[in-house]
Amino acid sequence: MEPAPSHLGKVAARSLAVLACACAPDWTNADLQLDVTDFPFSDEDRIAICVEGVGPLVAAAADGLLGFPGIPDAFPRIVTVADEDGLGGSVEFSERGYQSIRAGEQSIEDCPGERADQGTGLLLAVRLVP
């Protein structure tokens, strides 16, 4: 007969699983993934995302996870993220994948462009990390 698993053992196993998941940069199934670190925000803050050649997206920060669909599959793409107070960052994607930037002084003046046809294109996922 095997001993019954302890409650403490189950809690420890779950904690290790959560830590293992939290360390991986691949946190979603998006084509382009961007973490903006040192970015304090409240759920009501307005966040602007500009993808060069595609145009802007402005949304509430909510839980700090933002999605931007319809990005044509062409590289390089410069992605800029900024809030109304001029905090954010900019990074160049030369291919699909993950990038991380530390927030600093950043603004978005103009962001012209055109999205891909509905239901096509790449998905950008942005995560704001306080």
Whole-angstrom Cα distance, residue 104 to residue 83? 11
Q: What is the pLDDT of residues 105-118, one digit of tens each?
A: 999 989 999 999 88
Whole-angstrom Cα distance, residue 125 to residue 112? 20
Total-model pTM: 0.77
Residue 54: strand pairing partners: 113
Neighbours of 22 (CB within 10 A): 8
Angle at 52 between CA 69 and CA 70, to 5 degrees: 15
Round to the nearest angstrom and report the end-to-end CA distance of the chain.
49
Domain ranges for the chain, please list them. Answer: 29-128
Q: What is the pLDDT of residues 5-52, one digit of tens each?
A: 444 344 333 333 333 334 445 556 899 999 999 999 998 999 999 999
